[in-house]
Amino acid sequence: MTDLKPARILAVETSCDETACAIIENGRTLLSSVVASQMEIHARYGGVFPEVASRQHVLSITPVVAQALVQAHLTLKDIDALAVTQGPGLAGSLVVGMNMAKGLALGSGLPLVGVNHLEGHIYSAWVYDSPVRRGDAGEPVPPEPQFPLMALLVSGGHTELNLMTDHLTYKRLGSTLDDAAGEAFDKVARLLELGYPGGPAIQKTAEGGDSNRFHFPRAWLEGTWDFSFSGLKTSVLYEVRELRKKSISLPIPDLAASFQQAVIDVLFKKTINAAREFGAKEILVAGGVSANRPLRQIFKAQTEFPVHIPPLSLCTDNAAMIAAAGYQRYALGHVSGLEMDVLPTWPLS
Ligand code: KG4
Ligand code: ZN
């Protein structure tokens, strides 16, 4: 168990296209979480349009923060510290959340902690909904992830395997050499004309498909813990071209299912092998792609390692995860100064 000082953290997250604010107690208990999604706006462009994203954050940030406080039945006087996503992400988007958080810190005198968005994704696995919010009192508290922990981070911009030997301690074993897993989902969805965001669209379409119909390549990159998804994406492209050349109507569900299976096979096997090799006790999977149902199922079905995957609402971008990571940093005294700036390319380790 974490044995740190009790604290309520209010966090702000605006690194990409979700404007979010959440309040967490003691690093785990969710008191409120508000996410204003811009998905419908960006779907028109087939991806996130940075300038539009930052303008939309400006419109949403104040009501989102107000709503998070109302939802928790709290005021700023009940909060112990503030956290904000400092990076990585879109500079123009990060700045909006950063300015809001600095304004709140200046106005309230509360300490402010800058949080790495990727660290936030990892800490989403610590968060659970408060029994009061859920409307029941009897649910047991889900177990806290135990170290050493093998953490697979799979989002739209990142795919990496980290060994965590303690809180906030990451040894990056490998990462993608080209596309991130989520990026591959998005690109293949565009190729198959399934829309944006690609991950949920591919998952849904794949439900009616045969994952063994096409044998797309798996880049094992033996001897390393790195990943590569760009060859797989190109392979889907060539298959689509061949089918079109032969005037065969595209078996979209089979293509989606076969692609999805290829991604899952690599993510799953490499993570399990790394956990064995490095003596991890448990596995953690986080980031937008961890919302993928077949991926969740395959990890949960294996019984060798306890697996922590955040609830669906916390897999994609949210502020609860920033509050959870911010709590760990705040508890260790990592408070940032008001001169802190956004770090659009900040790596986790
Ligand atoms: O973590 P996230 O919300 O944003 C980043 O920090 O990048 O991840 C977004 C990514 C997108 O590429 C999206 O297509 C993918 O997560 N994603 C999924 C699913 N839901 C979201 N990928 C596969 N299956 C899903 N169900
Ligand atoms: Zn993210």
CA angle 332, 335, 337 (to 5 degrees): 165
Shared-domain flag, residues 154 and 140: no
Give pLDDT tens digits for 125-157.
999 988 777 777 667 788 999 999 999 999 999
- Tokens matching residue 182: 């989520």
154 and 110 share one domain: no
- Confidence at residue 3, expressed as pLDDT on a 0 to 100 scale: 60
Q: Assess whether 126 and 191 both reside in one domain.
A: no
Residue with tokens 């502020």: 319
- The answer, yes or no, to whether any atom of ligand 1 lies below 6 A from the CB of 289, is yes
User: Could you tell me the sign of the dihedral formed by the alpha carbons of 220, 224, 225, 227, in that order?
Assistant: negative
CA distances from 166 to 53, 184, 274, 335 (A): 35, 31, 17, 19
Q: Could you tell me if the CB of 179 is within 6 A of ligand 1?
A: no
Q: Which two tokens stand for residue 246?
A: 């032969």
Please give the share of the chain, as a percent, with pLDDT higher than 70. Answer: 98
266 or 3, which is more confident: 266
> Lowest-pLDDT range, 64-68, 139-143, 326-330?
139-143
Q: Could you tell me if 186 and 299 lie in one domain? A: yes
Per the structure, how many domains does the chain have? Answer: 2
Q: Does residue 18 lie within any of the structural domains?
A: yes
Tell the residue number behind the tokens 């609860």, with chain if given.
Answer: 320
Q: What are the tens digits of pLDDT across the range 177-228?
A: 999 999 999 999 999 999 988 999 999 999 999 999 999 999 999 999 999 9
Whether 166 and 276 share a structural domain: yes
For residue 1, name the pLDDT band (cuts at 50, 70, 90): very low
Q: Please tell me the number of Cα atoms within 13 Å of 241 on its side-chain side.
A: 6
How open is the CA angle 90-93-98, to the nearest 5 degrees?
115
- Residue among 218, 201, 156 nearest 182 (CA): 156
112-116 and 282-286 strand pairing: unpaired
pLDDT for residue 44? 82
User: Model's pTM, two decimal places?
Assistant: 0.96
Pocket test for ligand 1, best of 35, 116, 289, 296 (most atoms within 8 A of CB): 289
Residue 349, in any domain of the structure = no
Shared domain for 139 and 153, answered yes or no, is no
Residue 48, domain extent: 8-144+313-331
Q: Decide whether any atom of ligand 1 lies within 6 Å of the 292 Cβ.
A: yes
The reported pLDDT for the residue numbered 248 is 87
Kindly state if the Cβ of 287 falls inside 6 Å of ligand 1.
yes
Quick check: 306 pLDDT over 90?
A: yes
CA distance 255 to 307: 29
CATH number at residue 135: 3.30.420.40
Residues 132 and 214 occupy one common structural domain: no
In the sheet with 307-308, reading across from the earlier edge strand, the strands are 169-175, 159-166, 149-154, 282-286, 307-308
Is residue 127 within 6 Å of ligand 1 at its C-beta?
Answer: no
Average per-residue pLDDT for the chain: 95
Angle separating helix axes 181-191 and 230-245, nearest 10 degrees: 10
Which ligand is in closest contact with the Cα of 180? 1
Ligand 1 atom at shortest distance from the alpha carbon of 317: 3
Q: Is 27 part of a structural domain of the chain?
A: yes
**Section 280-290 average pLDDT:** 98
Q: Whose CA is nearest to atom 19 of ligand 1?
A: 199
